[in-house]
Homo-oligomer: A and B are copies of this chain.
Amino acid sequence: MKLAIDAMGGDYAPEQIVKGVELARDQYPDIEFLLFGQTEKITPFLKSDQRIKIMQADEVIEMGDEPVRAIRRKKQSSIVLAAQAVKNGEADAFFSAGNTGAVLAAGLLIIGRIKGIDRPGLTTTMPVITKDDQDSFVMLDVGANADTKPANLVQYAIMGKYYAESVMHVKNPRIGLLNNGTEADKGDKVHREVHDLLEQEDELNFVGNVESRELLNGVADVVVTDGFAGNAVLKSIEGTALSMLKLLKTSIMNSGVSGKLGALMLKNAFGQVKAKMDYSQHGGAVLLGIKAPVVKTHGSSKADTIFNTIGQIKTMIDTGSVQNVITYFSEQNVKEETPAE
Binding site for B on A (CB under 8 A): 129-130, 143, 146-147, 178, 180, 186-189, 191, 211-217, 227-229, 231-233, 235-244, 246-248, 250-252, 254-255, 258-259, 261-266, 268-270, 272-273, 276-277
> Could you list 26 A-B pairs, sorted by A, with CB under 8 Å?
A129-B243, A129-B244, A130-B247, A146-B191, A180-B231, A180-B235, A187-B228, A211-B235, A212-B236, A213-B235, A213-B239, A214-B239, A217-B243, A229-B229, A229-B232, A232-B232, A233-B236, A236-B240, A244-B277, A251-B269, A251-B270, A255-B266, A261-B265, A262-B266, A262-B269, A266-B266
Contact indicator B266/A232 (Cβ below 8 Å):
no
A261-B262, A262-B263, A265-B265 as given contacts; A241 in contact with B240, CB under 8 Å: yes
* Chain B residues, Cβ within 8 Å of A231: 180
Q: Report whether over half of chain A's contact residues are helix, strand or loop; otherwise say mixed.
A: helix
Q: Determine the residue in chain B with the shortest Cβ distance to A180.
A: B231
When all copies of this chain in the complex are counted, the total is: 2
* Chain B residues, Cβ within 8 Å of A273: 244, 247-248, 251
- Report the separation of the CA atoms of residues A238 and B233 in the bound assembly, to the nearest whole angstrom: 11
Q: Determine the residue in chain B with the shortest Cβ distance to A217.
A: B243
Contact indicator B266/A259 (Cβ below 8 Å):
yes
Contact indicator A212/B232 (Cβ below 8 Å):
yes
Contact indicator A189/B147 (Cβ below 8 Å):
yes
* Chain B residues, Cβ within 8 Å of A252: 266, 269
Contact indicator B276/A247 (Cβ below 8 Å):
yes
Q: Determine the residue in chain B with the shortest Cβ distance to A211.
A: B235
- Report the separation of the CA atoms of residues A277 and B247 in the bound assembly, to the nearest whole angstrom: 10
- Report the separation of the CA atoms of residues A273 and B259 in the bound assembly, to the nearest whole angstrom: 14
Nearest 6 Cβ contacts at the A-B interface: A262-B265, A213-B239, A236-B236, A251-B269, A146-B188, A180-B231
- Report the separation of the CA atoms of residues A178 and B146 in the bound assembly, to the nearest whole angstrom: 13
- Report the separation of the CA atoms of residues A232 and B273 in the bound assembly, to the nearest whole angstrom: 24
How many Å from the CB of A80 to the closest CB on chain B?
A: 22
